[in-house]
Amino acid sequence: MMSFLDTIDQYQDFDTDAFFGRVTEADVRRAIGRDRLGPLDYLTLLSPQADICLEEMAQKAHRLTVQHFGRTMLLFTPMYVANHCVNQCRYCGFNAKNDLHRMRLTVDEVTAEAEIIAASGLKHILLLTGEDRSHTPVSYIRDCIEVLKRYFTSISIEIYPLTEPEYRELTEAGVDGLTIYQETYNRDTYAYLHPAGPKRNYRFRLDAPERGCRAGMRGVNIGALLGLADWRKDAFLAGLHADYLQRSYPDVEISISPPRVRPQLGGFVPEIEVTDKNLVQYVTAFRLFMPRSGITLSTREAPRLRDNMTRLGVTKMSGGVSAAVGGRSHCDETGQFEIADERSVAEVAKMLYEQGYQPVYKDWQTI
């Protein structure tokens, strides 16, 4: 069966650092000027040298985004329904070894949480859990979907990787979007960061977005968690992964998120600092590489950065966020990570209007 792993293997012996060593300013300008960028053009824009052309990249990213998406920003919010987890991801607050109050919302609690969120006008919801098939089996996810369908017109999931039939079960139940991050594409780092649990299986996770595409998802959102490994290499492979999926499944809307590691219970501190400037370079380079793909910026980022990145290629933002289970109806739970932008949906919408952008609350409905 086809897999993005074949592409990763192709670049296995590619010396990215040597490539970066050869990139000149002229190469960067040539890549920015192209109508269609190839993988190496994209890598050129991710190089340390591209830093000096950041304003030009930003201008083009802005132009392309307005052209393809208009002056609009889709709004959504995450809803954590459980934090049970059998994995031991070193960077995650839900790590099985962490001393955390574990809980799973009942159907009534999901309803209460949904009511609060729906009152903000949002119609797009992202349902999240940890990875624990005994506490949160697919049947439980389906029960949650049945509740959420009554309040929202578009339901995405960010849960543990499923098999294709399981994904199909959920798309048939009303899920239309899948978010799943590879965390890092570097296989050695991946093995180190995931010392125990089913998440150790790199390949099963890597192919999950593709299984989702085949199972009828309308939108699939992928990404690398920046700060776990060399961000330039992860950004490159995340971009190629998106390109691979979009070419293989043209009827699915493929998008990316560029999340950065945040402080969390467990205290993991990334060895690699990914600066605001790096993040902007990644997002603008990706926009030039894939002009029509969505880019999501979460509340892992602070208000000032989010406000300024509205014009730099981002097409989807969260608001009124809690990263804790039942975070809106229970108030004292510990979240998966600390969020950096605590503004309500209305406050994010107001900011967007002030910037000349239309907040879009609804962009799909189950048909």
Name residues contacting other proteins, limited to 96-135 (CB under 8 A). 121, 123
DSSP collapsed to 3 states, the chain: CCCCHHHHHHCCCCCHHHHHHHCCHHHHHHHHHCCCCCHHHHHHHCCHHHHHHHHHHHHHHHHHHHHHHCCEEEEEEEEECECCCCCCCCCCCCCCCCCCCCCECCHHHHHHHHHHHHCCCCCEEEEECCCCCCCCCHHHHHHHHHHHCCCCCEEEEECCCCCHHHHHHHHHHCCCEEECCCECCCHHHHHHHCCCCHHHCHHHHHCHHHHHHHCCCCEEEEEECECCCCHHHHHHHHHHHHHHHHHHCCCCEEEEECCECCCCCCCCCCCCCCCHHHHHHHHHHHHHHCCCCEEEECCCCCHHHHHHHCCCCCCEEECCCCCCECCCCCCCCCCCCCCCCCCCHHHHHHHHHHCCCEEECCCCCCC
Q: Looking at 252, 317, 340, 345, which residue binds other proteins (CB under 8 A)?
A: 252
**357 forms part of the interface with other proteins (CB under 8 A):** yes
Contact string (CB under 8 A) for other proteins, positions 192-221, x = contact: --------------------------x---
**350 forms part of the interface with other proteins (CB under 8 A):** no
Q: How far is the CB of 194 from other proteins (least distance, A)?
A: 31
Q: Given the complex with other proteins, which of 68 and 97 has the nearer CB atom?
A: 68
Q: How far is the CB of 150 from other proteins (least distance, A)?
A: 12
**344 forms part of the interface with other proteins (CB under 8 A):** no
Q: How far is the CB of 123 from other proteins (least distance, A)?
A: 6
Contact string (CB under 8 A) for other proteins, positions 220-249, x = contact: --------------------------xx--
Q: How far is the CB of 54 from other proteins (least distance, A)?
A: 23
**253 forms part of the interface with other proteins (CB under 8 A):** yes
**358 forms part of the interface with other proteins (CB under 8 A):** yes
Q: Given the complex with other proteins, which of 106 and 366 has the nearer CB atom?
A: 366
Name residues contacting other proteins, limited to 151-190 (CB under 8 A). 153
Contact string (CB under 8 A) for other proteins, positions 61-80, x = contact: -----xxxxxxx--------
Binding site for other proteins (CB under 8 A): 66-72, 121, 123, 153, 218, 246-247, 250-254, 292, 353, 356-365, 367
